[in-house]
Amino acid sequence: MKNVERAPSLVDGVIAELRQEIARGTWQLGDKIPSETRLAEMLQVSRLSVREAVRVLVHAGLLTTRQGHGTFVTATDEAQVALRRRLDDAGTSDVMDVRRGLDLVASRLAATRRTDEDLRALREALDRRAAASARADVEAFADADVDFHLRIAEAAHNAVLRDLYQGMSDALRDSIKGDQCMEHTIARNDTSHEELYAAIESKDPTTATAIALSILDATTGAPGA
């Protein structure tokens, strides 16, 4: 971390330096950053400048301050923060429309491009999903379900698609819990996610896309669900 004392604006200089530290991975997601006093010493600026810079980054969604505990990294990409905020304001149907497009593209590409490592990651998420369903753990089920679909996006090996899906993950998790997906999976003995995995494993993009569509139709209650 460099001295920002000569920056045109001390606060802007501190903001820029803290952003760089987050972007380069000096502080990982969930990490506690140094105290105001320590940052002021490292950057050779006043604690007031550090405090104002931290306040700006909290507002931007990169940091969060917990009273009595310190300040923590809550995001590493401001674009994803903006997307999450937009999704928070969006209607459920709008989110599902976007998910439909992403899932269909992700499933098709994953079936074409997946690696053995991708399959292992998919299998792990799918096993966690099944275990959570067996013990009726809604939170764990939602986490595993989102992880499974996110790993399909990762298996597509398209960075833009992955980042878009990652940005939607919180909204998807909420929709899974709100739509009682776990209860429907148990009641219907639904095996569609296993079938989707098999299609991706077999490198069958046509079947993978069809199954992804059937999952979305069942989720939204569309005809044929």
**pLDDT tens track for 182-213:** 666 766 678 999 999 999 999 999 999 999 99
Which structural domain, as residue segments, surrounds residue 59? 10-76
Mark whether 173 and 197 lie in a shared domain: yes
Q: Name beta bridge partners: 60.
A: none
Distance in Å from the first CA to the final CA of the chain: 55
Residues 78 and 71: beta-carbon distance below 8 Å = no
Question: What's the pLDDT tens digit per position in 85-120?
Answer: 666 665 566 767 777 889 999 999 999 999 999 999
Mark whether 89 and 184 lie in a shared domain: yes
In a domain, 2, yes or no: no
Domain at 122, CATH number: 1.20.120.530
Within the chain, what is the greatest distance between any pair of CA atoms? 65
> Which pLDDT belongs to residue 225?
34
Domain final residue, candidates 46, 76, 106:
76
Domain at 17, CATH number: 1.10.10.10
For the chain, the domain total comes to 2
The rounded distance, in Å, linking the Cα atoms of 81 and 22 is 14
